[in-house]
Amino acid sequence: MSEVNHKSELGFKLKSLLKERSLSMRKLSELTDIDTATISRIINGKRKAKPEHIQQFSKALGVPFSELLTAAGYDIEEKEDKMNSDIHTSVESIQTFLESANLYDKNFSIASVEKKLAIYEELTQSEEGKDTILNRFADKVQKVGSIGPFISHLKEMYEKFRLKNGTPAELTLIGSALIYFILPVDVIPDYTFPIGYLDDAMAVQLVMNLISIK
């Protein structure tokens, strides 16, 4: 499908959603903090929506992020398949990719992910952390709207955590990976989907290596 058709598809979808919800472009602008002129150009196929635009549309209109990304012409399947099929991607490759795409201006490292996981290990042992996992995991999976090894491993981890199937140490590690996935404050922003979930995949892999989940 051509880029123009993709733009028209997103524009048509946004028009339909606005009509269904009795919203004007001006109101959508208020809800998303995106100026009305930009929204108009996106809807009329004169400008390609950026991932951050689509993230705001998704929140304001209650539509899955991945659904709007597909309508906008982003090749999610190909990129996500690559990410899911190669969870062992080197940190160097991830950093190179992020820099070349101008999507992230800080160093990506295993240490940065491990630091977050250590913080979340403590949170996992609190009632707040447990509630976060049990009450918000399903919603986050639905928001991502994806399948494959990355999500499958997370679902397995969630079931182990929910059923307390493991030693206290294992459940703490599992919980840290789940919270890393659930919370939006990652080393790489989630809105750069699917690139924004590379660090989540790395966090999952680090925990899997520690608890020997195959």
Count helices and strands (H / E) in the chain: 12, 0
Q: What is the pLDDT of residue 141?
A: 85
Contact 6, 54 (CB under 8 A): no
Give the pLDDT band of residue 212 (cuts 50, 70, 90).
Answer: low
Q: Is the pLDDT of residue 128 over 60?
A: yes
DSSP letter (8 states) at residue 102: T
Helix axes 198-211, 110-124, angle to 10 degrees: 70
The residue behind tokens 């991945």 is 66
CA 149 to chain centroid: 15
Average pLDDT over residues 189-210: 68
Q: What is the pLDDT of residues 22-43, one digit of tens each?
A: 999 999 999 999 999 999 999 9
Q: What is the pLDDT of residue 49?
A: 87
The residue behind tokens 């309508």 is 71
The residue behind tokens 């840290």 is 176
Q: What is the pLDDT of residues 59-110, one digit of tens each?
A: 888 887 767 877 888 754 444 444 444 444 444 555 555 555 554 445 556 7
Biggest CA pair distance of the chain? 56
Q: In sequence order, which residues have a C-beta less than 8 Å from that of residue 152 and are 6 or more positions away? A: none
Helix axes 127-144, 149-163, angle to 10 degrees: 150
> What are the CA-CA distances from residue 95 to residues 86, 104, 195 (Å)?
15, 9, 11
Give the pLDDT band of residue 146 (cuts 50, 70, 90).
Answer: low
Q: Is the pTM of this model over 0.85?
A: no
